C-alpha cells in the first residue's frame, strides 16, 4: 500500500466498507487479517480487546474501526478510519434510496438479497471463529463463551448483563 498509516487506513477500510455485507461483524476477520497479520498494527490480544470495547459500548458495532484507527494514528487515524468505513456506503445508500422504489420488487434484487444471506452468515461465523481463537485460550473463557452462546440464543436478555457478568468473572484473573 503506502508508508503513510493514514493512507493505508483509508484505503483498507474504504474497500472493506463495500464488501461488508451483513454489517460490521462480517468484516471482522478481514480487519483482523489486515490489522494483525498484514500491517502488524497490533497484537491478537489488542484486537480482541477492541472488539470487546466496541461491543460493550453503545452504538453501532462498526465503531471498532474508530478504535483501530486511534490505535494506529491517534485522532486523525480515528477520523480517517471512521469516514472510510462509513463514507462510501452512506453515499451509496443515499443515492440508492431515491431509486429503490423502482426496483424493490425486481427479481434480480430479490435474488441478490437472498444470495447474500449465506455469504454473510459464513463471514460472521468466521468472525466468531477468529475471535474465539484469541478469546478462549483456556477452559474458563471457553465456558463463559459457551454459556453466553446459550443464553444469547435462548433468551432476549439485554447483552449488557452478559458483558457485565463476563467482566466480573474476568476480574478473578482466571481467564
Partner 1 sequence: MSSPSAPSPAERPSLAAVFRAFAVVSLSGFGGALPWARLVIVERKRWMSAEEFNEAFALSQFLPGPNVINFSVVFGARFGGAPGAAVALAGLLGPPLAIVMVLAILYARFGDIETLSHILAGVTAAAVGLLIAVVAKMAAPLFLQRWNSGPVIAILAFIGVAIMQWPLPIVFAVLAPVSVAFAWFKR
Site size for partner 1, by CB under 8 A? Answer: 111
- Is 158 a binding residue for partner 1 by CB under 8 A? The answer is yes
Nearest to 8 by CA among 57, 66, 95, 72: 72
- Is 17 a binding residue for partner 1 by CB under 8 A? The answer is yes
Q: Which residues contact 12 (CB under 8 A, 6 or more apart)?
A: 1, 34, 84
- Is 163 a binding residue for partner 1 by CB under 8 A? The answer is yes
DSSP symbol at 22: T
Residues in 83-112 that interact with partner 1 by CB under 8 A: 85-86, 88-90, 92-94, 96-98, 100, 104-105, 107-112
CB of 3 vs partner 1, minimal distance in Å: 21
When binding is defined by CB under 8 A, the residue of 50, 73, 80, 81 that contacts partner 1 is 50
- Is 72 a binding residue for partner 1 by CB under 8 A? The answer is no
CB of 21 vs partner 1, minimal distance in Å: 5
Residues in 112-151 that interact with partner 1 by CB under 8 A: 112-132, 134-136, 141-142, 144-151
Q: Where are the beta strands (DSSP E) in 50-94?
A: none
The nearer residue to partner 1, 4 or 109, going by C-beta atoms, is: 109
CA atoms of 82 and 62, how far apart (whole Å): 8
- Is 29 a binding residue for partner 1 by CB under 8 A? The answer is yes
- Is 37 a binding residue for partner 1 by CB under 8 A? The answer is yes
Q: Strand, helix or coil at 146?
A: helix
- 116: cell is 447474500
Total residues found in the chain within this entry: 175
Amino acid at each position: 500500500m503506502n508508508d503513510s498509516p493514514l493512507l493505508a487506513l483509508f484505503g483498507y477500510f474504504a474497500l472493506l466498507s463495500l464488501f461488508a455485507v451483513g454489517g460490521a461483524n462480517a468484516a471482522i476477520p478481514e480487519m483482523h487479517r489486515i490489522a494483525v497479520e498484514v500491517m502488524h498494527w497490533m497484537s491478537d490480544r489488542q484486537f480482541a480487546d477492541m472488539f470487546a470495547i466496541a461491543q460493550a459500548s453503545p452504538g453501532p458495532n462498526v465503531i471498532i474501526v474508530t478504535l483501530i484507527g486511534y490505535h494506529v494514528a491517534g485522532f486523525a487515524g480515528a477520523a480517517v478510519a471512521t469516514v472510510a468505513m462509513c463514507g462510501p456506503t452512506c453515499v451509496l445508500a443515499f443515492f440508492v434510496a431515491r431509486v429503490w422504489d423502482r426496483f424493490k420488487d425486481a427479481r434480480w434484487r430479490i435474488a441478490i438479497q437472498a444470495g447474500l444471506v449465506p455469504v454473510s452468515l459464513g463471514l460472521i461465523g468466521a468472525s466468531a471463529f477468529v475471535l474465539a481463537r484469541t478469546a478462549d485460550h483456556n477452559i474458563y473463557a471457553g465456558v463463559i463463551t459457551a454459556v453466553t452462546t446459550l443464553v444469547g440464543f435462548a433468551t432476549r436478555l439485554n447483552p449488557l448483563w452478559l458483558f457485565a457478568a463476563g467482566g466480573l468473572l474476568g476480574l478473578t484473573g482466571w481467564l
